[in-house]
Structure 1
Amino acid sequence: MAAAAFEEIVEDFEFLDDWEDRYRHVIELGKAMEGLDEALQVPATKVDGCASQVWLHPSIDGGVFRFDGDSDAMIVRGLIAVLRALYNDLTLAEVGQVDAHAELGRLGLNEHLSAQRSNGVRAMIERIRSVAAAA
């Protein structure tokens, strides 16, 4: 189960032949994403376990989950954009049902991210799931 915006990214990736093109596309997704207001880049929104500085600011409206985020690393901003496409606009229950590892595997991310980046993505997913579960 994935949001429609994520399915668009999957379709885009199908047209990109090699990992370098896909990597550039992830970076472009990050560049296109609106940054997180600096006032929200505080210890409470910072995600531990990431090699880069990462902040996620979730919001829940009417049982629908959304989050904004930012990072000081362009590829990580892109990964945040991918996770936003995967999770934003899902219900709280749907957030818990997403198999992020499998969904990101459809993009080939599992094989191409460094161990540190993979740990950071896991930390972001854990934060997203825990916020949704606690709401």
Structure 2
Amino acid sequence: MATPAFEEIVETFEFLDDWEDRYRHVIELGKAFPDLDAAFQVPAFKVEGCASQVWLRPMVEGQGPGARFDFQGTSDAMIVRGLIAVLHALYSGLTAAEVGHVDAPAELARLGLNEHLSAQRSNGVRAMVDRIRKTAASA
């Protein structure tokens, strides 16, 4: 299950044959992603387990399984900002219940990210996905 925004990223990646082009596209997604206000770059929103500095600010509208999930985020590394943008496309606007049903590793594998991210970056993506899932589950 993926959002239309994520499907658009998948389609773009299908046209980009070279990993360097895909990497640049992820960075461009990060540059275009709205920045997280510095007031929210605090320990409560910091994601541990990432090699870079990463903050995710969840925003849940409503309560229970039908609550709509969204988040803001940023990182001090451009590629990670791009990965945050990719995760935003994957999860934003889903209900809290739907977030729990997204198979993030399988969806991200469609982009070929698994083979091209360092072990530290892959751990960071897993940490971000875990934070997103826990936040949605507690909604």
TM-score w.r.t. the length of structure 2 is 0.96
Look up the match of 2:20.
20
- Mapped to 1, the partners of 2:40 and 2:97 lie a distance apart of 26
1:76 paired residue among 59, 80, 87: 80
For residues 117-128 of structure 1, the aligned pairs below 5 Å read 117-128=121-132
Look up the match of 2:49.
49
- Mapped to 2, the partners of 1:119 and 1:26 lie a distance apart of 17
TM-score w.r.t. the length of structure 1 is 0.99
Amino acid at match of 1:50: C
Report the Cα offset of residue 101 of structure 1.
0.1
Runs (4+) off by over 2 Å: none
Q: Taking every aligned residue pair, what percent have the same amino acid on both sides?
A: 77
Amino acid at match of 1:52: S
Amino acid at match of 1:37: D
Look up the match of 1:64.
68
Structure 2: state its 5+ residue gaps: none
Report the Cα offset of residue 109 of structure 1.
0.4
Give CA deviations for 1:64-99 in whole Å, capped at 9, x if unaligned: 000010000000000000000000000000000000
Look up the match of 1:9.
9
For the aligned residue pairs, the C-alpha RMSD in angstroms reads 0.4
Amino acid at match of 1:127: R
